Amino acid sequence: MAVSSRQKEGFTMPELEYLAQCETVTIVPMHRMERLELVRGTVGPFRPPQKTQVPLWLATMLKRTNRCRIVAPDWLKYEHLQKLCKQEEEPDSLFTKLPFHYLEIAHILLTVAEDDIAESQGIRRLLQDLRESRQSKTLRGMEMLNPLQLQMDNLSAAEINEIRPLFRHSFNMLRQLDSLVLASEKSQQQSQYADQSYAGLEDSFVSSYPL
């Protein structure tokens, strides 16, 4: 596999940000430009003050040279984040829906285009809250780890990355143990109830792992 052993344990934050830079954002160009033929597609044309969709890396590049304003995505609005925070903090709530790379995008935008984002300080604070509540939820979810599956919808890249080392090892371990248990049970059953059929095995399987 092309992934290095280090990356099996997870990506670094800069790496994740690098990956997130392919997401598109909306900008308002400040310079008139024709279409740009990029490897991954065509962007533009840029006609101020009309909005266009560009990859995040291009947006940051243009922003750094003061050639555009970045339109904060809808999920990065103060009111929206507030709502999400509230939802997230409700007991027994699922993960709220956010872009896969939300932390990375938010970080990049807040670094590069803070002036384009209204209430950026408040947004920072809310993102921090959001992240913490989701983190605790993730850890709680990890407690429910079983050898079959772990379902946590709407988990973002960075959050997956956080639990990756722990999850990987423990999941593998659990599976190994599980196969041992299964094997031993099977042999026991075969010896004890040699005449019993496959159904009994099913039962024991189900009872040992209530799903």
Partner 1 sequence: MAHGISPPRYAHSDGYTALAFSADGTLIITGGSDTLIRVFRSSQNERDKEALTLEHHGDAVVAVAASRSKIVTGDEEGVVLSFDAHNGVHASGTVLRSALPARDVSISASERLVAVSGDDDAVRVVSLVDMGVQHVLEGHRTAVSSAALAPDAAFVAAVGCDSTVRVWDVRGDATCVQVLRKLAYTCEPGVALRQTKARWSPDGSAFAVAGEGHAVRVVARNSWAVAGELGGEHTDMVTCVAWSGSGRYVASVALDGVVAVWDVQARRAVATRRTGAKLCQVAWNPRANMLAFTDAAGALHVWDDPVPAGQGYAPVFAEAEAEVGAEAATETQVDAATDALMSDLFAGDGMPDADGEDDSGEPAAFDSGDELVDAGEALDDFVVDDDGGGYAERPAAPPRPARVLAARSFQPGATPWAGDRRYLALNMVGSVVAIAQDAAHNTVEITFFDKSAHRDMHFADSFRFSLAALCDAGCLLATTTRALANDGSLRGAGDSEDASVVAFRAFAPWAAASDWTLPLPANEHPRCLAVSPAGAAVVTSRGMLRLLTCGGVQRHIESLPDRVVTCVAHGDLLLLLLARGEGDLEYVLMRMDGSGRLASGTCPLTPGGTAAWAGFSEEGHPAVCDSRGVVRLLHRYWAPLQACWVPVLDTRGRRAAVWPVALSARHLLAVTCRGASRYPPVPTPILDELPLGVPLLQPDAAASQLEGRALEAAMFHSQLAGEARRTAGEYPGGRTAEARDRLEHDKLLLRLVQLACKADRPQRAVDLAGMIASEPSFDACVKIAVHEKQSQLAERLMRLKEELFRNHDDDKDEEDEESEGDQASDGDLDQASDVEMASDDQRPPRAVRRPAATYGTRRAAAEPAADTAAAAAAAPVAAPVAGSAFARPPAPPTTGRPFNPFGVASPSKSMELKRSDSFFDAADAHSSALSREASASPAAAAAAAAAGHVPPLPAKRVNPVAGEADDVPRKASRTGAAGAAVTIPTLTAMGVLGYYAQHPDEQQQQQQQQPQRRRSASLTDREFILDDDPSEFSSFSSAPDAFAAHGGGRRRRPSQPSSSAFPGPLSDAVKPDHALLEEPHLQVWRDRYKWGRQYGMNYAHNDR
Smallest gap from residue 154 Cβ to partner 1 (A): 28
Residue 67 or 125 with smaller CB distance to partner 1: 67
Residue 54 or 155 with smaller CB distance to partner 1: 54
Smallest gap from residue 144 Cβ to partner 1 (A): 44
Smallest gap from residue 64 Cβ to partner 1 (A): 14
User: 134 near 95, Cβ under 8 Å?
Assistant: yes
Residue 48 or 99 with smaller CB distance to partner 1: 48
Q: How many CA atoms lie within 13 A of 3 on its CB side?
A: 8
The secondary structure of the chain in percent helix, strand, coil, rounded to multiples of 5, reads 55, 10, 30
Smallest gap from residue 32 Cβ to partner 1 (A): 5
Rg (CA), the chain: 24
Helix (H, G, I), strand (E, B) or coil at 162: helix
CA distance 137 to 133: 6
Q: Which of 125, 6, 8, 105 is nearest to 57 (CA)?
A: 105
Smallest gap from residue 71 Cβ to partner 1 (A): 6
Helix (H, G, I), strand (E, B) or coil at 11: coil
Strands 36-38 and 41-43: antiparallel
Helix (H, G, I), strand (E, B) or coil at 71: strand
Residue 9 or 115 with smaller CB distance to partner 1: 115
Q: Under the rule (CB under 8 A), what is the footprint of partner 1?
A: 28, 30-32, 35, 37, 42, 47-51, 66-67, 69, 71
Residue 51 or 164 with smaller CB distance to partner 1: 51
